[in-house]
Amino acid sequence: MRKAQLGVPGAEGKAGGEVVFFHFGSNNGGGVKANVDRWLGQFQEKGEALKSKVEEVTVRGQAITFVRAQGTYLSGMPGGQRTPVPDTMLLGAIVPGSEGAVFIRFTGPTALGAASEAAFRQMAEGAIP
């Protein structure tokens, strides 16, 4: 499922983040809504308290879903022990593909996520031929 993982260094000794790429194959991975719900469910805050935004944009005729959330991230494996990490941002992109969607997720400090958001979006949009 996890196809690649990249470290994102923080500025001047501050905490960094990570970008993870997931691919589950054709018709797998639960679809767009299930993954958006899963990503948003990884935060302690719910509803309005979770500063989140979900938008679909069309790039070269393909719909990419972008997700942005900010709050206390619950780090750890689903179903296992979770560690609350306050002041965390999640940037997500669901990029369609002929052999199944690619799910891209950044998690890290809010300031780093905000500074990286334009580059994250450009990377995801660049995946559309």
pLDDT, mean of each 10-residue run, the chain (129 residues) = 77 87 80 92 92 95 96 88 94 91 94 95 90
CATH classification of 2-125 is 3.20.20.60, yes or no? Answer: no
CA distance 49 to 88: 14
Residue 80 is encoded by which pair of tokens? Answer: 């296992």
Give the per-residue pLDDT at 55.
Answer: 97
- DSSP one-letter string for 72-124: EEEES-TTS--EEEEEEEEEEEEE--TT--EEEEEEEEHHHHHHHHHHHHHHH
Q: Which of 33, 40, 35 is nearest to 103 (CA)?
A: 35
Decide: pTM greater than 0.85. Answer: yes
**pLDDT given at position 40:** 95
**Structural domain spans, the chain:** 2-125
Rounded Cα distance, 72 and 34, in Å = 20
The pLDDT, as a whole number, for residue 90 is 97
Angle among Cα 25, 30, 31 to the nearest 5 degrees reads 85
pLDDT at 23: 84
Tokens 């470290």 sit on residue:
7
